[in-house]
């Protein structure tokens, strides 16, 4: 297959590119600058895409977007988060509509659509959307693909949880604290965390590329949900460090701003669509995910 990827230089996109190439697929990176090789093609999110860019592409994996945990959520950065997702998705939706053949689309999304705090409620792909900034962003983000879906394009929304990796994302900042024995619970630690290892995240995206019959929302998170405090304790065990002292909620809000509400919230997400389709997680539990994370950190 020839697979085009946006956000290919990011944490997930870079590993996905490697895995696709390793299995023999041809990878095309859509980049927001002039192409420097035959493996790159230029695109400008929010602007019409040259129809020839996707002429020979079998699937598109759309991962581009500003990181929600990279900066404090100022009014300006909230606008950046929103526009970076909506503009690019609209561009791709319009582009695939111009093609005279079906192209598989796996569009990045997030479990943030369920809202920042759903308590003990079990959240599946059929659950209603929640409230809050991220929920609003994800609703608008996915809506940009509606014209393509209505035209019969096989679109899957990869509603990703918190991706575990020592090389980026939230764990890049949490792991150094955990190694020092400072990886205690955040807040009361009872909130459900929708975790997934980077390895399983990429495997799930590959599964979706290969199974175009799977359309609509697809949760990507541990099939055996874990509470935040429990996971940090498991991580401490793997690192042979204590994980006792909690991080006060007020301190997190001081450091992270509005994003702290999402970290302190509870999302008990279950990936029913993936499980029902036959996908198998390599790290399905909090324990195996913590083991994977620490092992990967030592490599």
Residue 40 has pLDDT above 70, yes or no: yes
Residue 246 has pLDDT above 70, yes or no: no
Q: Which two tokens stand for residue 46?
A: 């929010």
For residue 255, the model assigns a pLDDT of: 55
For residue 280, the model assigns a pLDDT of: 98
Residue 96's pLDDT band, with cuts at 50, 70 and 90, is very high
Per residue in 142-191, pLDDT tens?
Answer: 999 999 999 999 999 999 999 999 988 778 877 887 888 877 787 788 99
Mean pLDDT in residue range 11-36: 96
> Mean pLDDT across the chain, nearest whole number?
91
- Range of weakest confidence among 106-110, 156-160, 260-264: 260-264
Residue 278 has pLDDT above 90, yes or no: yes
Mean pLDDT in residue range 101-125: 95
Q: Based on C-alpha coordinates, what's the Rg of the chain?
A: 19
Residue 250's pLDDT band, with cuts at 50, 70 and 90, is low
For residue 189, the model assigns a pLDDT of: 87
Residue 297's pLDDT band, with cuts at 50, 70 and 90, is confident
d(CA 213, CA 155): 9
The dihedral sign for the CA sequence 263, 215, 122, 242: negative
Residue 258's pLDDT band, with cuts at 50, 70 and 90, is low
Stated pTM of the model: 0.94
Give me the DSSP letters along 127-184. SPP--SHHHHHHHHHHHTTHHHHHTT--EEEEEE-EEE-TTSHHHHHHHHHHHTT---
For residue 222, the model assigns a pLDDT of: 98
d(CA 108, CA 59): 13
Mean pLDDT in residue range 197-207: 98
């Amino acid at each position: 297959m020839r697979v085009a990827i946006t956000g290919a230089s990011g944490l997930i996109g870079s590993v996905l590119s490697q895995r696709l190439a390793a299995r023999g697929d041809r990878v095309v990176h859509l980049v927001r600058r002039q192409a420097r090789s035959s493996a790159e093609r230029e695109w400008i999110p929010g602007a019409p895409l040259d129809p020839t860019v996707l002429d020979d592409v079998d699937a598109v994996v759309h991962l581009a977007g500003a990181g929600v945990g990279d900066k404090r959520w100022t009014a300006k950065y909230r606008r950046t988060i929103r526009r970076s997702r909506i503009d690019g998705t609209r561009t791709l939706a319009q582009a695939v509509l111009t093609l005279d053949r079906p192209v598989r689309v796996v569009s990045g999304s997030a479990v943030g659509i369920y809202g920042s705090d759903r308590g003990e409620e079990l959240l599946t792909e059929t659950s209603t959307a929640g409230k809050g900034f991220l929920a609003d962003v994800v609703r608008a983000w996915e809506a940009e693909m509606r014209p393509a879906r209505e035209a019969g394009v096989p679109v899957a929304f990869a509603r990703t949880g918190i991706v575990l990796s020592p090389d980026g994302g939230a764990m890049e900042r949490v792991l150094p604290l955990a190694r020092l024995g400072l990886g205690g619970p955040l807040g009361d630690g009872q909130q459900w965390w929708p975790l997934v290892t980077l390895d399983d995240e990429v495997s799930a995206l590959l599964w979706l590329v290969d199974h175009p019959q799977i359309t609509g929302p697809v949760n990507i998170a541990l099939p055996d949900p874990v509470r935040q405090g429990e996971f940090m304790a498991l991580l401490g065990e793997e690192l042979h460090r204590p994980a006792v002292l909690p991080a006060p909620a007020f301190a997190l809000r001081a450091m992270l701003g509005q994003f702290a509400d999402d970290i302190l919230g509870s999302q008990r997400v279950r990936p029913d669509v993936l499980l029902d389709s036959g996908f198998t997680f390599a790290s399905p539990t909090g324990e195996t995910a913590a083991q994977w994370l620490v092992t990967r950190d030592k490599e």
